[in-house]
A and B are shown apart, each in its own frame.
Chain A
Amino acid sequence: MTRERLRVVFLSALIGLAFVLAWQAFAGTKPAGKGIPGPLAVGATAWQMLADPFYDNGPNDKGIGLQLAASLGRLALGYLSASAMAVMLGVTLGLSPLLYRAINPYVQVLKPVSPLAWMPLFLYTIKDSGQSAILVIFMSSLWPTLANTAFGVASIKRDYLNVASILQLSWSRRLVTVILPAAAPAIVAGLRISVGSAWVAIVAAEMLIGGTGIGYFVWNEWNNLALTSVIFAILAIGLIGVLLDAGLARLARRLAYTE
């Protein structure tokens, strides 16, 4: 480890420790059960929950591991289908400036809509709360990938495309060997933003629909004003978010290229 890196780690640990101490000191000013629970209380709850993360006491009470797994399952379905569609649409738009400019106003209108605003409409039309939640994830992870893919494809160097047409590559070969690799860094950057917003949306969606998932878990604990569990869930959500982002960052490094 370099000297520089060591200093970063040291400083980071120091900030974390200072925060936890300040939190404990602040929480300690009120008697137990009143005010914000301190890190010790949260730690005890975390210990208890992690000791048995996969218990299943029926539909309304499952362990934290099962809840996270349910959320990740929803995320995978919504995010993967949205990404596939966003890349396809993005490539089409990126290759056709005319289409891009024609469709862009609609994308701009739909993009800022909170994915949760779609929920009542989905529930009414699809008539299934589980599928509606997945569609909310779909909506939240569609736009960043779409916009980035279109941008990435549109800014591929003309030389690459010219060479491809001189070589008389078929459309599908041109897509796989030239367009997608050339636009890959932009696409992956979009995918990274998308996974973040999907993970943000899922908690809120699950708080609305209930049933299973980490969002339902937070809601159920809120019901009981069990703040230690809520804080623990916040930490778990954050950690999973970091892991998802780190996975895509790795992918981005592998697909990067220099001209």
Chain B
Amino acid sequence: MSETGMDALRARVVERAVERAVFGGELGRRAFVRAVGATTASAALASLFPMAAAKAIAQEKPGPPEKRDLKIGFIPITCATPIIMAEPMGFYKKHGLNVQVLKASSWAMIRDISINGETDATHMLSPMPLAISLGVGSQSVPYVIPAVENINGQAITLAAKHRGLKTAADMKGFKFGVPFDYSMHNFLLRYFLAEGGVDPDRDVQIRAVPPPEMVANLRANNLDGYLAPDPFNQRAVYEEVGFIYMLSKDIWPGHPCCAFAAKHEFMEKMPNTFQATLNAILDATQYARDKSHRKEIAAAIAPKNFLNQPVEVVEQVLTGVFPDGLGNTRNVPDRIDFDPFPYHSMAIWILTQMKRWGYIKTDVSYRRVAEEVFLATGTARAMRALGQKPPEATLVKHTLAIGKTRVFDPDQPDDYLKSFAIRRT
């Protein structure tokens, strides 16, 4: 059978499978089709289910992109590495796209220009698409995360005057910065403080500060520390105003951080473009995963057009060989790492923390929201098509190692929530 014939067949198979799922088996489907006619049946179904997107994701080779000239927003931090490097290193081109990456000044701004449609896809903090889809701290717009940008790669940086400080309990009264309310940074900092017996709402102050402004605030004594994306932790060391107290991987090894996100509408209306963009990101992420490529990537993303940082600093972040500001040179190869797989269990963990700290006041159906926003199944298919090896399960147990070791079981989110002494529920 020819290539197109194969694709058409695959598309029909997907359509049938969805119809069977919706109508409860083949018999239900036939009865419905008999009653309303085949065209109406598939139109009715398409209004409920993104059929075009499902077909596109199932195809091994996507059709030609509906739109080649795309704009993708980013915040100048190393978390955006795959999104940024894919432009200068030609990953978008390789997948038939002409992408301009646009630098945005703050998370609120990147959210608004994405919702407004000024960008086609965007770099976001992984809790943001969940919050936006739920209409928490934003208007409600359905978003999807087809790929996690980076894992690990954040740190708690403290002002130089706090050298010698040991535990969270010593940080009572501190003013902390995090990049945004709906960020892993906020949830990891709160987790870390609470495990050390410090109530993050009562004993310290946590403010949202755009990453680029953090070093200046630390220098000006406006902040005692921050849990922030790099290069701003390493930049504080470089400027001799702070030291790296703890890497975020020591709180949760392998935690997700930033995400590659898009409006659900983009995936639905331009399934081929969506697929091509995802493939470019997956390709770039795979390349970034190889530690021998990190220096080359640092040189590609450090210039003014992208991060606008000294190459030396970006290299220290990406290679994991860095001075910590206390006189030591550390060698932590997985200080930042790249794994695109958006586990549903990661989304559920984030939702439990949003509930824990009162960002969500009502009940949420964890599984449903996680599956709608984190497209693990589609990602796995796309990864396989690119010859990459996705994990088998989309729900796994995560272990957070700081303080008392706690295992997060995605099947028991409510029990997990109840196990915390400090919470706002």
Contact of A222 among B100, B101, B216 (CB under 8 A): B216
Contacts of A127 in B (CB 8 A): 115-117
Contacts of A48 in B (CB 8 A): none
Taken together as a complex, chains A and B put the C-alpha atoms of A219 and B212 apart, in Å, by 9
Indicate if A60 sits at the interface (CB-CB under 8 A): yes
Indicate if B204 sits at the interface (CB-CB under 8 A): no
Contacts of B106 in A (CB 8 A): 208
Q: Which residue of A lies closest to B215 (CB)?
A: A225
Q: Which residue of B lies closest to A221 (CB)?
A: B308
CB under 8 Å from chain A, chain B span 193-215 = 212-213, 215
Taken together as a complex, chains A and B put the C-alpha atoms of A78 and B14 apart, in Å, by 52
Indicate if B342 sits at the interface (CB-CB under 8 A): no
CB under 8 Å from chain A, chain B span 151-190 = none
Contact of B105 among A59, A219, A225 (CB under 8 A): A219
A223, B76: Cβ atoms closer than 8 Å:
yes
Contacts of B101 in A (CB 8 A): 59-60
B102, A60: Cβ atoms closer than 8 Å:
yes
Complex interface bits, A26-45 against B, C-beta within 8 A gives 1, otherwise 0:
00000000100000000000
Indicate if B305 sits at the interface (CB-CB under 8 A): yes
CB under 8 Å from chain A, chain B span 288-323 = 303-306, 308-310
Complex interface bits, A87-129 against B, C-beta within 8 A gives 1, otherwise 0:
0000000000000000000000000000000001001100111
A129, B305: Cβ atoms closer than 8 Å:
no
Contacts of A128 in B (CB 8 A): 116, 118
Contacts of B117 in A (CB 8 A): 127
Instruction: Write the nearest CB–CB distance from B78 to chain A, whole angstroms.
Output: 13
CB under 8 Å from chain B, chain A span 115-146 = 120, 123-124, 127-129
Tally chain A residues at the interface, Cβ within 8 Å. 25
Indicate if B123 sits at the interface (CB-CB under 8 A): no
Complex interface bits, B99-120 against A, C-beta within 8 A gives 1, otherwise 0:
0111111101100110111100
Instruction: Write the nearest CB–CB distance from B338 to chain A, whole angstroms.
Output: 22
Contacts of B108 in A (CB 8 A): 120
Taken together as a complex, chains A and B put the C-alpha atoms of A222 and B104 apart, in Å, by 14
Taken together as a complex, chains A and B put the C-alpha atoms of A124 and B112 apart, in Å, by 7
Tell me the number of A-to-B contacts counted with CB atoms below 8 Å. 68
A59, B112: Cβ atoms closer than 8 Å:
no
Indicate if B239 sits at the interface (CB-CB under 8 A): yes
Indicate if B235 sits at the interface (CB-CB under 8 A): yes
Indicate if A211 sits at the interface (CB-CB under 8 A): yes
Contacts of A2 in B (CB 8 A): none
A208, B304: Cβ atoms closer than 8 Å:
no
Indicate if A224 sits at the interface (CB-CB under 8 A): yes
Instruction: Write the nearest CB–CB distance from B347 to chain A, whole angstroms.
Output: 27
Contacts of A65 in B (CB 8 A): none
* Contacts A61-B305, A222-B213, A224-B309 given; does A129 touch B118 at CB 8 Å: yes
A57, B109: Cβ atoms closer than 8 Å:
no
Instruction: Write the nearest CB–CB distance from B180 to chain A, whole angstroms.
Output: 15
* Contacts A128-B118, A222-B212 given; does A60 touch B109 at CB 8 Å: no
B216, A225: Cβ atoms closer than 8 Å:
yes
Complex interface bits, B48-92 against A, C-beta within 8 A gives 1, otherwise 0:
000000000000000000000000000010000000000000000
Instruction: Write the nearest CB–CB distance from B355 to chain A, whole angstroms.
Output: 27
Q: Which residue of A lies closest to B308 (CB)?
A: A224
* Contacts A127-B116, A128-B118, A225-B216 given; does A207 touch B305 at CB 8 Å: no
Instruction: Write the nearest CB–CB distance from B307 to chain A, whole angstroms.
Output: 8
CB under 8 Å from chain B, chain A span 207-233 = 207-211, 216, 219-225
B116, A210: Cβ atoms closer than 8 Å:
no
Instruction: Write the nearest CB–CB distance from A139 to chain B, whole angstroms.
Output: 18
A223, B102: Cβ atoms closer than 8 Å:
no
A58, B305: Cβ atoms closer than 8 Å:
yes
B102, A225: Cβ atoms closer than 8 Å:
no
Contact of A210 among B109, B213, B239, B310 (CB under 8 A): B109
Contacts of B212 in A (CB 8 A): 219, 222-223
A220, B309: Cβ atoms closer than 8 Å:
no
A60, B118: Cβ atoms closer than 8 Å:
no
B102, A209: Cβ atoms closer than 8 Å:
no
A57, B305: Cβ atoms closer than 8 Å:
yes
Contact of A220 among B103, B109, B213 (CB under 8 A): B103
* Contacts A60-B102, A208-B106 given; does A223 touch B308 at CB 8 Å: yes
* Contacts A129-B118, A225-B235 given; does A57 touch B213 at CB 8 Å: no
A210, B105: Cβ atoms closer than 8 Å:
yes
B102, A59: Cβ atoms closer than 8 Å:
yes
Contacts of B102 in A (CB 8 A): 59-60, 210-211
Instruction: Write the nearest CB–CB distance from B385 to chain A, whole angstroms.
Output: 31
Contacts of A129 in B (CB 8 A): 109, 112-113, 116, 118
Taken together as a complex, chains A and B put the C-alpha atoms of A124 and B118 apart, in Å, by 13
Contacts of A209 in B (CB 8 A): 105, 109
Taken together as a complex, chains A and B put the C-alpha atoms of A220 and B304 apart, in Å, by 8
B residues bordering A, Cβ < 8 Å?
Answer: 76, 100-106, 108-109, 112-113, 115-118, 139, 212-213, 215-216, 235, 239-240, 303-306, 308-310
A residues bordering B, Cβ < 8 Å?
Answer: 34, 57-61, 120, 123-124, 127-129, 207-211, 216, 219-225
**13 further contact pairs, Cβ within 8 A, besides A216-B105, A223-B212, A223-B309:** A58-B100, A60-B102, A60-B103, A61-B303, A127-B116, A129-B112, A129-B113, A129-B116, A208-B109, A221-B308, A222-B212, A225-B215, A225-B235
14 contacts between A and B (CB under 8 A): A57-B304, A59-B100, A60-B101, A60-B305, A129-B116, A129-B118, A208-B106, A210-B104, A216-B105, A219-B105, A220-B308, A221-B308, A224-B309, A225-B215
Closest 9 CB pairs of A and B: A61-B305, A127-B116, A210-B105, A223-B212, A60-B103, A61-B304, A224-B308, A60-B305, A123-B112
